[in-house]
Structure 1
Amino acid sequence: MLLRLPDPERRFATVELDSPGLRGECEWRAGAWRRRIGRPRTQRIEYHFRVVDRRGRVRHLLDPTATCTVRTSFGPRSVWEAGRYRAPDWLDQPGVSGSMTPLELPSELAVPLPVMVWVPRGLRSHQPAPLLWCHDGPEYAERADLLRWAASHVRARTLPPFRLVLAQPVRRLQWYAASPGYLRSVDLALEALRERYRVRAPLAFMGASLGGLTSLLVGMRRDDVGAVLAQSGSFFDPRLDDQESDFGGFGRITRAVDGVRSGRWRRAGAGPQVALTCGRHEENYANNKAMAKALRRRRVPVRLTDVADLHNYTAWRDALDPIWPNLLRETWTATG
């Protein structure tokens, strides 16, 4: 596959391809900077070009020939898609219906926990209903179409009407790094939600990367959590993730991960049902496999799904079905 950035006047001194796993210098030839890569191992590639002009100024440019772009946590990127790639069918469903309520929930931290609570049309506050808590919820809603996903399943009756809590971390790298204060704050926040809404147990938690780690930690310490989805969970291990050792929360995370694997993080019963999804070529794949193996050894019901993509919201969006609605339906219908 050939990626190219036109530059007929050679205004740029150097150009590099900037993409997870595909970084490297481009070659100028025939009026364009070119980077040929072998057959991609994934169905999608998100990328842009890092260019340095003749004055030494650095910019990041999209590919003008790309037919698709995506917003990421690191700015917009161009997208290449394989011919076999297919987006989820539920993206074609009608728009989102229901109400959104902003709340500030009590916490043990320096600030309250800000959340948005989505409620599907027709579900009243006094009606008992399941509750799904999503870490990094606003980003999931914006970049993974989570509200459309939820609305489409409620509309199709493949899931019962449920309330969706979109949790937004104020200090993400601190709160989602196995913070005991944050985990205790989730307990306080859930008490406040139960005072406002009639919540039908068991609860469900979901998140990606550090949010996936945090969702699993909540699920392993609370008896009322029935289902957890951790996507590309950051289950750091000193042997597998030395490249992350400079991260300030690395030690705390590795201790928490070891506690989950060894069983020191205990709750009544075997634990929640756990779904893990992870790109088979991303850095977190090895630690996700290790976590799945350890949970099975502890007799925690767990399923790991490989994804033909990397560490991004589109990959997490595409991996929601069928594993997550199936697990939620099994968890919620088992309690009536």
Structure 2
Amino acid sequence: MARTRLTVTGTPVGDVDLVVVTPVGTRRSDPLPLLVAHDGPEYSRRAHLVSRLRTATADGRVPPTRVVLLEPGPRNERYAANPLWAEALAEHVLPTVHTAYAADAKPTLVGASLGALASLQTEWRHPGTFGALFLQSGSFFRKRVDDEEDFEFWDRVTAFVAGVRRARKRRSDARIVLTCGADEGNLANNRQMAQTLAASGHDVTFHERPGRHDWRSWEAAFDPFLLTLLQGSGSPGSSTRRGT
């Protein structure tokens, strides 16, 4: 996989650094699927995202895919339901990537914890930007559900989640897959978010997995759920709990 560093300047949250990882033997003009990852360097280093995709491609399980590894920068400020980050990603970062690289369809957006929250908010505020969302252990905090009131952006996060819960019709056509560990604190709010999205007509599946709120558990959920999502064939029915 060839890696190219880019910096997108002039966004509402300042400069955004990223790395584009491209399958060897492909050109920028080749239209390939695009996977965008919040906390990209950590996903690559600690959850082995790029190497897992490389192996799956070699095995013929997923098509050759470009990966955008987003540097978080000031992570909490950007990812904790910040509408300016959503604008930066949808209206600055992605257009820059699309100018440099051809894509064959709308990209898939991946995130864990606050990264999952930021992923949902970006598509929620800019519907139609992404074709699919892979949300792992999202920090979908709710009052009277989560004991996180000391978090510096608690009010911003709970306000966004409350807004999603008030929606009565589908806001996005993206396919949405949520995963969450059975032994972590975000399990209840992830179950509720899946139910909320299903009730408003979204294409959503939720998978409760063994594990905790950590990179090992998130990596374990790649196969089959992320790989199947990248195949474009939907989530495996035997493991799917739609809206639960």
2:68 aligned with 1:165: yes
Other-structure match for 1:274: 176
Normalized against structure 1, the TM-score is what? 0.66
Other-structure match for 2:222: 320
Q: Deviations over 1:131-179 (max 9, x none)?
A: 1100001001111111111111221221111110000111001000111
Answer yes or no: is the 8 Å Cα contact 1:201–1:224 preserved in 2.
no
Answer yes or no: is the 8 Å Cα contact 2:23–2:64 preserved in 1.
yes
Structure with greater strand share of residues: 1
Over alpha carbons, which structure has the higher Rg? 1
Where structure 2 has 5 or more consecutive residues not aligned to the other structure, the ranges are: 235-244
Q: Distance in 1 between matches of 2:112 and 2:232?
A: 22
Q: Deviations over 1:67-103 (max 9, x none)?
A: xxxxxxxxxxxxxxxxxxxxxxxxxxxxxxx101111
User: Residue type matched to 2:211 in 1?
Assistant: D
2:139 aligned with 1:237: no
Answer yes or no: is the 8 Å Cα contact 1:202–1:331 preserved in 2.
no
Structure with greater helix share of residues: 2
Other-structure match for 2:237: none
Which of these residues, 8, 32, 36, is aligned with residue 133 of structure 1? 36
Answer yes or no: is the 8 Å Cα contact 1:219–1:227 preserved in 2.
no
Which of these residues, 51, 68, 72, is aligned with residue 148 of structure 1? 51
Q: Distance in 2 between matches of 1:273 and 1:311?
A: 23
Are the structure 2 counterparts of residues 260 and 174 from structure 1 closer, same or farther at C-alpha, using a change threshold of 3 Å?
same
Deviation at 1:280, TM superposition (A): 1.4
Q: Deviations over 1:17-42 (max 9, x none)?
A: xxxxxxxxxxxxxxxxxxxxxxxxxx
Q: Distance in 2 between matches of 1:131 and 1:144?
A: 18
2:92 aligned with 1:214: no
Where structure 1 has 5 or more consecutive residues not aligned to the other structure, the ranges are: 1-97
Secondary structure in 2 aligned to 1:244?
coil
Q: Distance in 2 between matches of 1:280 and 1:222?
A: 30
Secondary structure in 2 aligned to 1:283?
coil
Deviation at 1:265, TM superposition (A): 9.5
Other-structure match for 1:246: 150
Deviation at 1:222, TM superposition (A): 2.6
Deviation at 1:258, TM superposition (A): 1.7
Are the structure 2 counterparts of residues 135 and 264 from structure 1 closer, same or farther at C-alpha, using a change threshold of 3 Å?
farther
Q: Which moved more, 1:248-257 or 1:106-115?
A: 106-115
Other-structure match for 1:283: 185
Q: Which has the higher contact order (CA 8 A, sep 6+)?
A: 2
Other-structure match for 1:113: 16
Answer yes or no: is the 8 Å Cα contact 2:34–2:65 preserved in 1.
yes
Q: Distance in 2 between matches of 1:238 and 1:127?
A: 47
Answer yes or no: is the 8 Å Cα contact 2:180–2:186 preserved in 1.
yes
Instruction: Quote the sequence identity (%).
Output: 36
Secondary structure in 2 aligned to 1:173?
helix
Q: Distance in 1 between matches of 2:176 and 2:111?
A: 12
Deviation at 1:266, TM superposition (A): 6.7
Q: CA RMSD of the aligned region, Å?
A: 1.7
